[in-house]
């Protein structure tokens, strides 16, 4: 079960529709169950998953765990909020109680691209300095901007998803990075 983007079948989406993404807070370790439940209710849901390899002696086990624990993203119209809240293990929407905060399509796209990327590329200490703002110029993450941070002799690209308040850190090859703003003297 890799990245789960589930849709409720053919849905009549009109241009004037108010279809938007929202983050739903779930009980701990119930993200995949919530996606299945929402799918059965006709709701489009997505949980970004990453692979985790665990070794047990000579055996290896590959698990798919949520990139962001306790969150599932749903694409709904305003009148479908109640249907989402009635699903088992759903705690509520992020935002205030009167109106959930919509998540921009661009950030959902970033999550999808991030979970499809293998984060095993190293960056050397040549022309990049800690704190510099960069943009990925090629590959599945092209267009994403962030800030470089250093760790154990390699650079890591920091992606900030401001609407949901998370920072994702991953190693990116320097060949696909472009510095947009050099590091400040205080970095």
User: Based on the number of CB atoms within 10 Å of its own CB, is 36 exposed (0-12), middle (13-18) or buried (19 or more)?
Assistant: middle
3-state secondary structure of 25: strand
User: Is the pLDDT higher at 128 or at 146?
Assistant: 146
- Does the pLDDT at position 165 exceed 90? no
pLDDT band at 17 (very low <50, low <70, confident <90, very high): low
Tell me which DSSP letter residue 174 carries. Answer: G
Sorted by where each starts, the structural domains of the chain and their CATH numbers stand as 4-8+17-116 (3.30.70.940), 133-181 (2.30.30)
Return the closest-CA partner of residue 166 out of 139, 143, 146.
146
pTM above 0.85, yes or no: no
Condensed to tens digits (0 to 9), the pLDDT of residues 18-62 reads 899 999 999 999 999 999 999 999 999 999 998 888 888 889 999
**Position 85 confidence tier, pLDDT thresholds 50, 70, 90:** very high
3-state per-residue secondary structure call for 77-120: CHHHHHHHHCCCCEEEECECCCCECEECHHHHHHHHHHHHCCCC
Residue 14 DSSP symbol: -
Top pLDDT among 21 and 144 is at 21
Q: What is the mean pLDDT of the chain?
A: 75
What would the two tokens of residue 80 be? 């479908």
């Amino acid at each position: 079960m890799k990245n789960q983007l589930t849709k409720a079948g053919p849905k009549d989406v009109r241009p004037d529709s108010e279809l938007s993404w929202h983050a739903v807070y779930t009980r701990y370790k119930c993200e995949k169950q919530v996606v299945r439940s929402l799918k059965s209710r006709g709701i489009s849901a997505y949980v970004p998953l990453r692979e985790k390899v665990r070794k047990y002696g000579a055996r290896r086990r590959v698990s798919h765990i949520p990139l962001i624990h306790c969150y599932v993203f749903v694409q709904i119209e305003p009148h479908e909020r109640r249907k989402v809240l009635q699903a088992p293990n759903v705690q509520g929407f992020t935002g205030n109680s009167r109106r959930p905060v919509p998540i921009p399509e661009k950030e959902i796209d970033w999550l999808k691209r991030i979970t499809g990327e293998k984060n095993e590329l190293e960056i050397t200490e040549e022309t990049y300095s800690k704190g510099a703002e960069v943009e990925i110029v090629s590959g599945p993450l092209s267009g994403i901007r962030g800030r470089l941070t250093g760790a154990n002799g390699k650079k890591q690209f920091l992606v900030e998803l401001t609407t949901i308040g998370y920072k994702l850190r991953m190693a990116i090859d320097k060949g696909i990075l472009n510095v947009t703003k050099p590091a400040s003297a205080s970095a």
